[in-house]
Amino acid sequence: MTAPFGQRLADAVTARGPLCVGIDPHGALLERWGLPDDPEGLARFTGAVVDALAGTVAVLKPQLAFYERHGSRGLAVLEDGVARARAAGALVLLDAKRGDIGSTMDGYAGYLRPDHPMAADALTVSPYLGPGSLQPAVDAARRHGGGLFVLARTSNPDAGSLQHAVVDGRSVAQVVVDTVRAWNAADASGSFGVVIGATLPELDVDLTGLGGPVLAPGLGAQGGSVADLRRLFDRGTTVVPAVSRDVLAAGPDRAGLRAAAERWAAALAG
């Protein structure tokens, strides 16, 4: 059986540092790279990023939507990219933000199956149909050694309109964190994490005893910095900082992509 995602993530961070690089091939970026906004351009973009970074970065995070918009040919590109990235030693976090109930959620959780054509190490999920809606994904993660990152306290401007709502004395965001804490307490694998934006003005949830990692998107072009990570998170928290545009803007030159990632890795290690 595959080692639990929490263990594999800890090993990858020890060997490569904590940096997660997003793979976000939106149309404007493809154009900036001089590539057509079609499956061929998508394949050239994805190949360049994977070739440049999968051998050195701990986590690559492809955004599924940018591949889905090209239909089956786009998904075929991502299938190839995910397999190549994992073969080169990177963990792949599929940024899908899926959330549903019952057999539908079980279908989405299929990305964690080792026999899935796009088998990933971990998956982002949304809890807003209720914590119990994610149980099929939790079960799949435990069965296959995968991981989940659950949207908890995001930093988009109107996130607080839902995430600050109070339920039985706790904010919705805190309920999400507490739910993930309970999942980790049940098996101590550390495979279940939360998503908390790196650009929040303050950390308004209690992460004590979470037992799993925090994915912190928003570094670089979105305004987040290494100083923000240190301001928001205690040293005992396992933080996976995510950067996309600041690295991808260095392409299509592979050496440029690698150098940009190395600059962020050095800043995080400093």
Residues designated catalytic: 97
* Pair 25, 244: CB distance under 8 Å: no
Is the omega angle on the peptide bond into residue 117 within 30 degrees of 0, that is, cis? no
Q: Is 10 exposed, middle or buried (CB count within 10 Å of its CB: 0-12, 13-18, 19+)?
A: middle
- Check if the beta carbon of residue 211 is closer than 8 Å to that of residue 202: no
- Strand ranges in the chain using DSSP code E only, listed in sequence order: 20-23, 59-62, 91-98, 122-125, 147-153, 166-167, 170-171, 192-196, 214-219, 239-243
